[in-house]
Structure 1
Amino acid sequence: MDSLTQIVLGAAVGEAVLGKKVGNKAILYGAIAGTIPDLDIFASHFTDTVSALAIHRGFTHSIVFSVLFAPVLGWLVSRYETYKDYKGWAWLFFWALITHPILDAHTTWGTQLFWPIDLRLAFKTIFVIDPLYTFPFLVFLILTMFQKRTSKKRRLYNGIGLTLSTAYLALTFILKDAALTQFKSALHTQNISYNQIDTRPSPLNTILWNANVDTKNAYLLGEYSFFDTKAISFQSYPKNHELLGNLIQNEKVKRMIAISEGWFTISKIDDKLYYNDLRFGLLNLEPQSESFVFKYLIDVDASGNVNFIEQERTQRDGKKLMSALWERLKGN
């Protein structure tokens, strides 16, 4: 999830664990702990694109990380804070650290919660930024901050925030299942044979859902809004995996395919090969658009080394997509 959401979650968890004893300092340290797992993004400054993608939401988003670092952080804070209960601080950091990857596991990218086991947990029920999850949570956290440390209202407000956010997260599973049922029904009605289907919410909401459908030679992409009145239509995108040629044996290419869980197409433009990660959809909702959110130039240097160069996205792309999504969310 986005940084603000993780700060709010960490702060609320910190308050639940130690707020009655240390007041707003529990919120402060919980907020700090809630951001720590995302420090892995700095790996992109020290390694190649593929390695950075593999590292992201890996070790720092695992149970192992929380178990190892919570006692250390708890001990450090207990050394200079007036509240000296080491175990209390350790518990605060543990729960603030571990709830971060648990929440991230509900997004499309997912987390390696059980690192070092090579398994990325991704429920794909919520977008990385969802105002309906974050805003009510933030409001009740702010109300909590202005209550006295021992006030019953303080615990009440924080409890409401945690309950509402958790309930909404649970609701997303129901919405995902309902959308999946609609996609499967449409595929059956249109007599489309497929190997597997992958669904996820579109940006900023859980009303409009996207689906990737794996068929023999192509992927089908479709959208469904709970306000739709017309049948779901699917756009076909050839896999073109054969364009990789001998590159399919390259270790970086293999790792990239594993990271994208096999959901990718290859496009050739001006004799250059591009790798399109389908898991995050398109920047443009126009039919047959090739503007994928995550698109990489496959660069092969003179020595045969392969590098993936992420193609830049502009603010204009984002604004255009938001406008199109809003119109599509209202129904077809």
Structure 2
Amino acid sequence: MDSLTQIILGAAVGEAVLGKKVGNKAILYGAIAGTIPDFDVFASYFTDTVSALSIHRGFTHSIVFSLLFAPLFGWLVSRYETYKDFKGWSWLFFWALVTHPILDAHTTWGTQLFWPIDMRLAFKTIFVIDPLYTLPFLVFLILAMLQKRTSEKRRIYNYLGLTMSTLYLALTFVLKGVAFHKFEEALETQNIDYKQIDTRPSPLNTILWSANIETEDAYLLGNYSFFDTKSIEFETYPKHHEWLGKLKENEKVKRMIAISEGWYTINKVNGKLYYNDLRFGVMNFEKQSQNFVFKYQIDVDASGTVHFIEQEKTSRDGKKLMGDLWQRLKGN
């Protein structure tokens, strides 16, 4: 999830663990702990694109990381804070650290929660930014902060924020199930044979859902809004995996395919080869759009080294996405 949401979650968890004893300092340290797992983004400054993608939401988003570093942070804080309870501070840091990847596991990218086991947990029920999750949570956290440390209202407000956000997460599973069923119905009605379906919410909401459907030689992309009145339409994107040729045996290419869980297409533009990660769809709702959220040029230098060069997005792409998203969300 986005940094603000993780700060709020960490702060609320910190308050739940130690708020009664240390007041707003529990919120402060919980907020700090809630941001720590995302420090892995700095890996992009020191390594190549594929390695950085592999690292992202890996070790720092695992239970192992929380178990190892919570006592360290707890010890450091207990050394200079007036409240000297090492166990209490360690407990705060553990829960603030571990709830971060648990929440991220609900997004499309997911987390390697059980690192070093090579398994990415991704429920794909919520977008990385969802105001319906974050804003009520923030309101209750602010209300809690305004109360005295020993106030019963403080605990009530904080637990209301935690409860409402958790219930919303649970609701997203129900909404995902309904959307999945609608996609299945549409495929059956249109007599489309397929291998597997992958569904996810569209940006900023859980009303409009997107699906990737794998067939023998292509992927189908479709969208469904709970306000739709017409049947679901699917766009066909040929796989063209064969265009990789011998590159498919390259270790970096294999890692990229593993990262995208096999959901990718290859296309050529002006003699250049592009790798499209389908898990996050396209940046607009145009027919046969090739403006994928994650699109990489595959470049092979003179030494034979393969480089994945991410294609940057512009503010114009973002504005168009917001406009298209609002129109499509209202129904087809």
Provide the residue aligned with 1:186 in structure 2: 186
Sequence identity percentage:
80
1 CA distance for matches of 2:319 and 2:119?
34
Matched, 1:6 2:6: yes
| Alignment match, 1:57 | 57
Partner of 2:19: 19
Matching residue of 2:176: 176
Aligned pairs for 1:253-272 (under 5 A) are 253-272=253-272
SS at the partner of 1:127? coil
Which one-letter code corresponds to 1:44 in the other structure? S
CA distance in 1, matches of 2:16, 2:323: 39
Distance 2:242 2:86 in 1: 58
**TM-score under structure 1 length normalisation:** 1.00
1:113 is aligned to 2:128: no
**Post-superposition CA distance 1:252-303 (Å, at most 9, x none):** 0000000000000000011100000000000121110111000000010011
Residues of 1 paired with 2:192 and 2:6: CA distance?
A: 40
Paired position in structure 2 for 1:216: 216
- Deviation at residue 144 of structure 1 after TM alignment: 0.5
Shift of 1:28: 0.1
Equivalent residue of 1:197, what SS? strand
User: How far apart, CA to CA, are the structure 2 residues paired with 1:324 and 1:307?
Assistant: 32
- Alpha-carbon separation, structure 2, partners of 1:90 and 1:27: 14
Partner SS, residue 150 of structure 1? coil
CA–CA separation in structure 2 for the residues paired with 1:184 and 1:315: 35
User: Aligned equivalents of 1:149 and 1:282: distance in 2?
Assistant: 47
Distance in 2 separating the partners of 1:216 and 1:321: 30
Query: Hey, what's the Cα distance between the residues in 2 that align with 1:168 and 1:184?
Result: 24
4+ residue segments displaced more than 2 Å: none
Secondary structure at the counterpart of residue 54 of structure 1: helix
For 2:129 and 2:59, the matched residues in 1 are separated by 23
Opposite residue 242 of structure 2, the aligned amino acid is E
**Paired amino acid for 2:119:** L
Between the aligned partners of 2:23 and 2:249, the Cα distance in structure 1 is 57
SS at match of 1:42: helix
Task: Give the unaligned 5+ runs of structure 2.
Answer: none
Q: How does 1:155-304 map to 2 (within 5 A)?
A: 155-304=155-304
Q: Cα RMSD (Å) of the superposition?
A: 0.3
What is the distance in 1 between the residues matched to 2:21 and 2:223? 49
Unaligned runs of 5+ in 1: none
Cα offsets for 1:140-171 (capped at 9, x unmatched): 00000000000000000000000000000000
1:81-136 CA distance string (max 9 Å, x none):
00000000000000000000000000000000000000000000000000000000
Tell me which residue corresponds to 1:44: 44
- Tell me the residue number matched to 1:324: 324
Post-superposition offset of 1:317: 0.2
Q: Distance in 2 between matches of 1:232 and 1:297?
A: 31
TM score, norm. by length of structure 2: 1.00
* SS class of match (1:76): helix
Deviation at 1:204, TM superposition (A): 0.1
Q: Secondary structure at the match of 1:200?
A: strand
2:309 aligns to what? 309
